[in-house]
Amino acid sequence: MASIFLSVVIPSFNEMGNLRKGILSKVQKYLDKQNFDYEVIVVDDGSEDGGLEFVKKFASEEKEFRVIQNTHSGKAGAVTTGMLSAKGDYILFTDMDQATPIEELEKLLPYLNKGYDVVIGSRSSNREGAPLTRKIMAKGMMVLRSTIVGLGEIKDTQCGFKLFSNAAAKDIFERVKEGHNGFKTIHRSSVTAGFDIELLFIAKSRGYKIKEVPVDWLYVETRRVSPIKDSVEGFFELFKIRRNIMSGKYD
């Protein structure tokens, strides 16, 4: 059996709207054109809209796709599950809405041969199409993150398009999982800013080389983003990360 060059991890929670748009087929068509073996892991995070059944049917017909069924633990838990299950030499996680299209992988891959362990997509500071509230949230989080946690050298920690070597992914995400004592079941939507910051802090503290690469990105409206609630939660998450740093939890 040929080794898998690339694993693509896609978290999915009530994504029937995007699934009906043919997102999985678009990802498949692009990857089929590449000169490497791949797998796509869709981690269902307790969907209640028929999304799980849709993905299972798709995966039953396409051998490169597989589904992991999680209890609802939020995006961080779903991504972590997928990353730790992935078998590829390199592992990308990306969002189901494909705000950053899978084709942008071509901009990240070259850096794997230049000694980088983690290559992350970076959106334009203009955030094309995003409402003013989202732009204010992004700038405010950047200032708070730099002050409380650090990572001031990274302009965009939050882009949901990140590529890792297998060794780096397993090390980083095991520590993310341990830092949360596993991920507990939740009873609401959870798209949190702290997750990306946490995993990048761990990557940096573990000595992995990180490269930030500009990618195309288009704002996609989602009901799961609440400017006030998400900003407050993000603020407290930064302090949780700082507390973990001071206590040596990531060491």
| pLDDT number for residue 127 | 53
Say if residue 70's pLDDT is above 70: yes
Name residue, tokens 């599950």: 81
Distances (CA, A) of 117 to 31, 210, 214: 22, 6, 17
Distances (CA, A) of 229 to 142, 153, 198, 224: 17, 27, 19, 10
CATH code for the structural domain at 6-247: 3.90.550.10
Share of the chain above pLDDT 90, in %: 65
pTM of the model: 0.88
CA end-to-end span of the chain:
37
CA distance linking residue 97 with residue 231, whole number of Å: 22
- Give the model confidence (pLDDT) of 13-57 as tens digits: 999 999 999 999 999 999 999 999 999 999 999 999 999 999 999
Phi then psi for residue 185, to 5 deg, are -65, 135
